[in-house]
Structure 1
C-alpha cells in the first residue's frame, strides 16, 4: 500500500512543481522578450501578474517601467515634432524670400528692403525659439541652479513695468499697478524678472488698443505672497485653461506666430515658479480677458 501512495504523492508533487516552475518562468520569459523588444524601440509590455510574491511584484514593476518609458518616448517624439513644425515655418519663409532676392525678383529697392525685413523677422523668431528651448531645457534639467537671495519683488516688478511702458503707450494700453513694497521673496532675481516679463509681455500682446493691464502684488499671509497679472484682452475658453503652460500650446496658432510668440513663455514661467516652490494658475472666459495668479513663499521677518 505504501508504494502506490508514494507514487501518487510523487506524481502530485511533480504536477504542482511543474505548475510552480511555469508560474515563475512564464513571467521571466515574457520579461526577457519584452526587454528585447524595448532594445528595438518597442516599449509595449503586458507581463502577466499571477502572484503576489517576488516574481509577481517584479512583473508589475516591469510593466510600470515599460509604461513610463513608453510615455517618455512619446513625449520626446511629440516634442521633436513640435520643434520641427515650429522651425519649418520661419525656415520656409527665409528660403523663399532669399531665393527671390537671388533670382532678382524684387523689382525695386523698396521690394528688396521688404524681403530683407521679412527674412530678418523670421531670423529673430528662430533665435527666440532656440533661446527659449535652451532655457526651458536648462530649467527642467535644473542644470542652471537658482541663485537664491532675498529679493524685493515689488522693485523687480516696477523695473520691468518701466521697460514696457513705451510699448503699452504705443498701443494706448493703460498699465496699472498696486504693489506691496514690503514683500521679500527668497529667490533668483533674474528668474523672477523673467516671470514678470513673460506675463507682462503676454498681457500687452493680447490686449487691444485702449485696454488695461493690471499688475498687483499683495501679501496673503506671513508666509505667502501673490502676484496677479490681469488684462482686458479677448481671453480664452475655460476648457483651454488646463493646457496653458504646456510647450508650444497656443489658443490661436496663426495669430500668435504673427505676433512673434514661441509658445514656450508660459512653460518657462511655470518651471521657474515651480523651482521657487510656488504655484501658478489661470482664470479666463472668452471675451473678458485673462488673469494669471502666482503664489510664492516669502522670507519671514524673523528669518
Structure 2
C-alpha cells in the first residue's frame, strides 16, 4: 500500500479515529463509572424502598401471621443486594437477618437512642426518610438509608435501616485500569483490521474509476466501469461510461471527417494537377494554331514562296480560326458546366424531339459519311432536364458515332425500358472498336486515342468531357463499351 495513496490515508485516518475514540470511551468509563454507578445505585434503592414501604403497609408485623412482611424484606435484600434491620419506635429490633452482622448494627441502635446523632443518616421528619454514604473502619463505603414505615396491624411507626456496599464498583474500575494495556492492544488490532476492510471498500471503487478515467485520458474507450451501485459512485461510473461512449462517437466522427478531409485534399490535388494539365493543354491547343496562322499571314504579307497564293492560305487560316473558335466555345461550355452544380433551366423534354433536331442538323454529314441511321424511340417518352445541354451532349455522342464509323455501317439510336422502371438510351455505331486501355480515359479533357492530335483525324478531345459534365449535372449514369462488331454508348434515366 503506497504511503501517498488514498487507500493508505483512509486506512491510517480510520484506524486512528477508532483507536482514539475507543480510548476516550474507556477513559470516560473508568472516570465516570463509579460516580454514575453510585447515583444509579442510590436512586434505585430509594425507589425500591418506597415501593417496599407501600407493600409493608398492607401486611401485619405484630401478629404471628407476619410471614408476608418478612418475605418482602428478604426478597428486597436479595434483589437489591443490601442488608437491613427493622426497628420499632423504641429502637427495639423487630427484624434482623444474619447478613446484618457484617456491619455495625449497634452503632445504628446507639445513634437512634441519641437523637439520631450517630454514623447513620438522621431521619428527615418531612419526608420520613434520609440516606448518605458512610466510610467504614475497613475503608469500605456503604450507602446507609433510613425509612419510616407502617404496618397494617400497628398504627405506630417503625424504622427500616438499609446498608448497600459500594466497594465492588471501585474494584470494577481498578479491573478496567488493569486491563487497559491488553484492551488497547486488542483495540489496535480490531481498529487496524476494520480500517483495512473499510478503506478497501471505500477506495476500490474510486481506484476502479480512476483507472477508467486514466484509460479514457489516453483515448482508450474500450474499457467500461462495472460499478452499478445506486449511490454517487454508481452515478459517477455511469457518467464516465457515457463520457467514454460520447468521446468514442466523437472520435469516430473526427476520424471519418479526417478521412473525408484527406480524400478531399487528395481529390483537390488531383483536380489541381488536372487543372494544370488542362491549362497546359489549352496553351498548346491555342499556341499551335496561332503560330500557324501567324506564319501564314506573315508569309502572305511578304509574298514568301508558296504563300504568294493568298487565296489558298487565307482559306487555310480561316479554317484554323474556325477550329480555334470552336475550341473557345467548348472551353466556355466547360467553364459554365464546372461553375454551376445545379440545373437552372429544367423542363420536361421529349427525347424524340431532341434526336430529331440533331439528325436534321447532321443530315449532310450523314450523307457524306454514307452511313445508315436507325432510330427507335417512343415519341411520347419524356425526361426532365436542360434541353440545350442535353442537345449538346447527345450531339457530341452522335457526332462521334458518325465520325468514327466506316462507310455503309449502321448508326443505331434506340430507347429500351427495363422491368425496374428504368430506361436506357443507346447510341451504337457498328464496324468500330476501341482498345480497352483507352475506354476509361475517353472522358478526360483533351484525351484522344490518336496521339498525333491531327484535326483531320479527330477533334479537340473535349467532346466526351463535355458529355460527361452534362450527364453528371443531370445525375444520369452513362458508359461506353465495345460490343460485337461495334461500340455502344449507354445513358441510364
TM-score in terms of structure 2 length: 0.45
Measure how far apart 1:249 and its partner are.
0.8
The match for 2:459 is 261
1:90 aligns with one of 286, 289, 301: 289
Structure 2 unaligned spans of 5+: 6-249
SS at match of 1:257: coil
Q: Could you give the per-residue CA deviations for residues 165-218 of structure 1, whole angstroms, max 9, x where no partner exists?
A: 221112211111111222110111111111221111111111122222111123
Measure how far apart 1:87 and its partner are.
1.4
**Is 1:226 equivalent to 2:424 in the alignment?**
yes
The match for 1:127 is 325
Aligned partners of 1:178 and 1:216 also within 8 Å: yes
The match for 1:289 is 486
How many residues align? The count is 247
Are residues 69 and 183 of structure 1, via their aligned partners in 2, closer, same or farther at CA, if it must alter by over 3 Å?
Answer: closer
1:270 aligns with one of 468, 473, 477: 468
Measure how far apart 1:256 and its partner are.
5.3
Distance 1:88 1:199 in 2: 27
Measure how far apart 1:107 and its partner are.
5.6
Measure how far apart 1:134 and its partner are.
1.3
Distance 1:224 1:236 in 2: 27
Larger radius of gyration between Structure 1 and Structure 2: 2
Distance 2:360 2:456 in 1: 25
**Is 1:208 equivalent to 2:401 in the alignment?**
no
Aligned partners of 1:206 and 1:233 also within 8 Å: no
SS at match of 1:261: coil
Are residues 175 and 108 of structure 1, via their aligned partners in 2, closer, same or farther at CA, if it must alter by over 3 Å?
Answer: same
Measure how far apart 1:143 and its partner are.
6.8
**Is 1:248 equivalent to 2:446 in the alignment?**
yes
**Is 1:236 equivalent to 2:395 in the alignment?**
no
2:346 aligns with one of 145, 148, 167: 148
RMSD (Å) for aligned C-alpha atoms: 3.0
Aligned partners of 1:138 and 1:144 also within 8 Å: no
1:73 aligns with one of 272, 279, 283: 272
Measure how far apart 1:237 and its partner are.
0.3
Distance 2:261 2:358 in 1: 50
Higher RCO structure, 1 or 2 (CA under 8 Å, sep 6+): 1
SS at match of 2:362: helix
Measure how far apart 1:229 and its partner are.
0.9
Aligned partners of 2:307 and 2:313 also within 8 Å: no
Aligned partners of 2:415 and 2:425 also within 8 Å: yes
Measure how far apart 1:260 and its partner are.
5.5
The match for 1:157 is 355
Are residues 53 and 178 of structure 1, via their aligned partners in 2, closer, same or farther at CA, if it must alter by over 3 Å?
Answer: closer
Distance 1:162 1:222 in 2: 33
